[in-house]
C-alpha cells in the first residue's frame, strides 16, 4: 500500500511545489522564491522521513488516517484558496497576489528604454535619420 501512496504522491502533489513557485513569482524575485520553495520541500521531506517510522510503530494504521486527514484538508485548501495559474502571465499573477513588483519592473524597463531612445523608435515617432543619429550618440568610442 505504501508504494501506491508514493506513486500517487509523486505523480500529483510532489511536483506542485516545484511548478507553483516557477509560475507565481515575478522575475525579479523568482530565484529567491524558488529557493524558499525548494528548501521548504526538502525540510518537509526530511520531517516526513524522520517521523513516519515511529508513527507506524506506535499508531499502525492510524498513521494512514493521519495523512488522509491532511490530504483532505490540502484538497479543500487548494480548491478554495489557490488560484489557477494555467496560461496566466506574470503580470496577471502580480494582480492575483496583489504584488506591485511587476509594475515596478515595467516602470524601470520603460525608463531604461526612454534613456536610450527606444520608446520613440518603437512607437514610430522618429525618422530613419533621427534613429541613426541616436544610435551614433549611444555608441561608445574605442580608445
Q: What digits encode the pLDDT tens for the residues 86-116?
A: 888 777 777 777 766 667 777 787 788 777 7
Give the pLDDT confidence score for residue 142 in this predicted structure.
Answer: 55
* 123 grid coordinates: 512607437
Q: Are residues 105 and 79 in the same domain?
A: no
Whether residues 81 and 111 fall in one domain? no
pLDDT band for position 125 (50/70/90)? low
- Domain containing residue 125: 101-138
| pLDDT tens digits for range 21-43 | 887 887 888 899 999 999 998 99
Residues 110 and 63 in one domain: no
User: What's the pLDDT score for residue 69?
Assistant: 95
Examine residue 96 and state whether it is found in any structural domain, yes or no: no
pLDDT of residue 73: 95
Total domain count, the chain: 2
143 inside domain: no
Judged by DSSP in three states, 121 sits in helix
User: Residue 15 domain-assigned?
Assistant: yes
Amino acid at each position: 500500500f505504501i508504494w501506491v501512496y508514493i506513486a500517487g504522491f509523486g505523480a500529483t502533489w510532489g511536483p506542485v511545489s516545484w511548478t507553483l513557485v516557477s509560475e507565481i513569482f515575478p522575475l525579479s524575485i523568482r530565484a529567491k522564491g524558488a529557493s524558499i520553495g525548494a528548501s521548504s520541500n526538502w525540510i518537509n521531506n526530511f520531517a516526513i522521513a524522520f517521523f513516519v517510522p515511529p508513527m507506524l510503530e506506535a499508531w499502525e494504521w492510524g498513521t494512514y488516517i493521519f495523512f488522509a486527514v491532511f490530504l483532505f484538508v490540502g484538497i479543500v485548501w487548494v480548491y478554495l484558496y489557490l488560484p489557477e495559474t494555467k496560461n496566466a502571465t506574470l503580470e496577471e499573477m502580480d494582480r492575483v497576489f496583489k504584488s506591485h513588483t511587476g509594475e515596478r519592473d515595467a516602470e524601470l524597463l520603460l525608463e531604461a528604454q526612454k534613456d536610450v531612445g527606444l520608446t520613440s523608435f518603437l512607437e514610430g515617432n522618429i525618422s530613419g535619420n533621427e534613429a541613426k543619429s541616436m544610435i551614433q550618440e549611444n555608441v561608445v568610442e574605442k580608445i
